[in-house]
A and B are shown apart, each in its own frame.
Chain A
Amino acid sequence: MNRTRHSMRRMLAPYVLLAPGLLWLIVFFVLPTIQMFLYSVSTGSVDFGYRLTWSFDAFTIIPKQFSRQFANSLIYGTLATIITFLISYPLAYFIAFRGGRYKNLVLFLVIAPFFTSFLIRTISWQIILGNNGPVIGLMHAVDIFRAVPENFTFMGEPVAVVSGLVYNFLPFMTLPLYVALERIDIRLIEAAQDLYAGPWRPRGWLYGAVGGAILGGFIGFGIDWDIPIFALVGAVLGTIILGVFVSESFLRVTFPLSLPGVFAGSLLTFIPALGDYVNATLLGSPKTQMIGNVIQARFLESNDYPIASALSIVLMVGIIVAVMLYARMLGTEDLSGGAML
């Protein structure tokens, strides 16, 4: 009697423990998603109500009307992810391996901006990049050859939107990278050096030049600036970074072991950046609209629920597919652990 009660309890325990989370997920994710899907195949208006007509019109409109905004989202999201990665990796590496007793202080500095509201932080970028702001002021001050046009501006340009995204999502990249790097046993790096892993030359130079050129070119393309100049700068920087700072022990041991952090960090940056609309609203212009702006406008301003829902679903499915491809690319099994974080 007693015994059966005991085993009953044992059997039920996992479900009882799961229940709150499961309930939360059902009420706030599954049901809304279903509702959203139903809206996307309905017709009507807020005033007269929506009827479920199983019309896929909303989806067929998307490629015609919103491909520009989807492309913007994809380009800015990708750019923001790449740039946050390029900034975060050296930062996280430094904190993890050279931080010493300042480790916690520097980590605190990384998340310190979070104590200010997301909106305030983004609005302050309006000031930083604004026409009367310090960046443009400095550019004009050092520009003795008058190469910078008088009406030069960042605001409303892709570069402003991407800057905002990079700034806002930097900690989401840095922290997972730090956790992954911190876990690496220094002796593994010593073992690699012991086994003749030295500087990565001359191949590093080559890969650095080619990779840097491609990356620089893409950044130039993404923020709609001079592609060749960006490619050139990228090539030079790439050669220096891979040739001087990247050793074979980093390439063969440290970096592969930090991949779970790369995976987690880039997802935590890429997914929210893709759907973000605050940065594009505050720092961008109509031409830099991202898909988040459209969804927000359709839901809240024009009350066009079917289109807004259809856009959300396309975005969601797109992200899921992209994440799966990405996970496949990096080799999933080892990474899911890191991605859970």
Chain B
Amino acid sequence: MPEIDVRLVDVTKRFGPDVIAVDRINLEVRDGEFFSLLGPSGCGKTTTLRMIGGFEEPTSGLIELQGQDVTWLPPYRRNVNTVFQNYALFPHLSIYENVAFGLRRRRVPDREIRNRVTEMLQLVELPGYEKRRPSQLSGGQAQRVALARALINRPAVLLLDEPLGALDLKLRKQMQVELKRIQQEVGITFIYVTHDQEEAMTMSDRIAVMSAGHYEQLGTPEELYERPTTRFVAGFLGVSNMLRATRLGEDGAYALVEVVGGSRVRVPRDRFDGRVEVEVGVRPEKIRMLASDAEVPAQLNRLPGRVAHASYMGVSTQYIVQVADQADLTVYEQNVERTVEGSIHRQGEAVTLAWMPEHTFVIRDAGAATGAEPD
């Protein structure tokens, strides 16, 4: 059992009587983990982070840091450091003094400060920048300095509040890799707040997907993507095809459900929680598109449909397939065999959609946070 670095117990934050920013959150972040709080703006992720950092006090609940109750401790008494959204570098201090700020406050001897600043600037690949001012740095460099300024204190946990938000796409991708490298190198627990699902997926060990003050689902990127349990998570992480379904019966390890147009689809039985009316979903890239008269292996789920729209996207082609005049499914097909001649499947063509039952997920539906951790 890995050690728990940060524990939130029933943490609630209200702003005024009507606004609940964070609603009874329970979280456990493990030692050395890259943990992300992912969600749209206003979901409470930043407020959660600010409570861990000590900038906001929870209305109720408990925050533990390495087993110690820090709920009411001010920021300067917590062994936690923050990388702020706009970096918040001190404009009147040199890069050296910015990075040394925390050590100076802790009365670390000058010689040690010098060594550690040099070492830290090397880690973030900015050696020789000691004498510059924050105004002389580019966005990416300022970002690295902010990281160095926080990491130099060797905190138990590093909090990052949308640290890459202000960078352009290319630099952001580069910094994602960089951040992950640095995190592995220093071995410090990172709690990362972002609204960018791709960013969270690339870097995180685990993600909590947040919405309206609570988290909808918590798990590894794979778990969240392959088996979203709420409609919100299914829609927020990537594209999902959702179908209303009625459970009919069982077929070995599978449950048999009826979806639109009367087609029957098999779903692993353990993904059900006993309800009859549910929604099932499947990711667009999991679906194989075959000619309507093609032979389909018996173990696959099947749906007949008609190609409504095809759009070429370079690496893949996106098809919109109409199923039983009722539902539109999105299908991604890798352009492995495609040439300039055009689409393999044409608009109006009748096709069969097929996918493995294991790729079907069941929505327990949005609403209250489940809080359950996937095993």
Contact = CB atoms under 8 A, between A and B. Distances in A.
Contacts of B53: 194
Nearest to B106: A196
Contact of B88 (A187, A197, A248, A334): A187
Interface stretch (B69-77, B182-190, B294-302, B357-365): B69-77
- Which of B53, B90, B150 has its CB near the most chain A CB atoms (within 10 A)? B90
Q: What is the interface residue range for chain A against chain B?
A: 10 to 19
Interface stretch (B78-86, B249-257, B308-316): B78-86
Interface residues of B, number: 25
A193 B76 contact: yes
Contacts of B153: 195-196
B92 interface: yes
Given A198-B74, A253-B90, A334-B92, A191 B106 contact: no
Interface string A226-264: 000000000000000000000010001100110000000
A198 B76 contact: yes
- Which of A190, A192, A196, A257 has its CB near the most chain B CB atoms (within 10 A)? A196
A194 B82 contact: yes
Contacts of A188: 88, 90-91
B19 to A, nearest CB: 17
Contacts of A195: 76, 81, 101-102, 105, 149-150, 153
A191 B105 contact: no
A185 interface: yes
B101 A192 contact: yes
A197 B77 CA distance: 9
B161 to A, nearest CB: 10
A172 B4 CA distance: 55
Contact of B101 (A185, A190, A252): A252
Contacts of A257: 91-92
A193 B77 CA distance: 9
Contacts of A256: 92
Interface string A159-188: 000000000000000000000000001011
B75 A194 contact: yes
A118 B55 CA distance: 46
Nearest to A331: B92
B257 to A, nearest CB: 51
Contact of A197 (B86, B105, B150): B105
Interface in A313-330: none
A204 B249 CA distance: 76
Contacts of B91: 188, 257
A194 B82 CA distance: 7
B55 A248 contact: no
A191 B90 contact: yes
A108 B298 CA distance: 81
A194 B76 CA distance: 5
A330 to B, nearest CB: 12
A28 to B, nearest CB: 37
B356 to A, nearest CB: 48
A198 B77 contact: yes
A195 B105 CA distance: 7
Contact of A196 (B84, B86, B89, B102): B102
Interface string B33-75: 0000000000000000000011100000000000000000011
Contacts of B75: 190, 193-194
Given A191-B82, A194-B82, A198-B76, A248 B105 contact: yes
Nearest to A259: B92
Contact of B76 (A187, A196, A253): A196
A187 B80 CA distance: 16
A101 B368 CA distance: 37
A264 B92 CA distance: 18
Nearest to B53: A194
Interface string A190-222: 111111111000000000000000000000000
- Which of B76, B89, B101 has its CB near the most chain A CB atoms (within 10 A)? B76
Interface in B240-292: none
Given A194-B75, A195-B81, A187 B101 contact: no
A182 to B, nearest CB: 15
B102 to A, nearest CB: 4
A193 B90 contact: no
A190 B105 CA distance: 14
Contacts of B102: 195-196
Interface in B6-52: none
A197 B76 contact: yes
B212 to A, nearest CB: 25
A326 B91 CA distance: 22
Interface string A13-28: 0000000000000000
Interface of B: 53-55, 74-77, 80-82, 84-86, 88-92, 101-102, 105-106, 149-150, 153
13 contacts: A187-B85, A188-B88, A190-B82, A192-B101, A193-B76, A195-B150, A196-B106, A196-B153, A197-B101, A198-B76, A248-B105, A253-B90, A257-B91
Given A193-B54, A193-B55, A198-B105, 5 more contacts: A191-B88, A195-B76, A195-B105, A252-B90, A257-B92
When A and B form their complex, which 7 residue pairs have the shortest distance between CB atoms, in order from nearest?
A195-B102, A196-B105, A191-B88, A198-B76, A193-B75, A187-B88, A196-B76
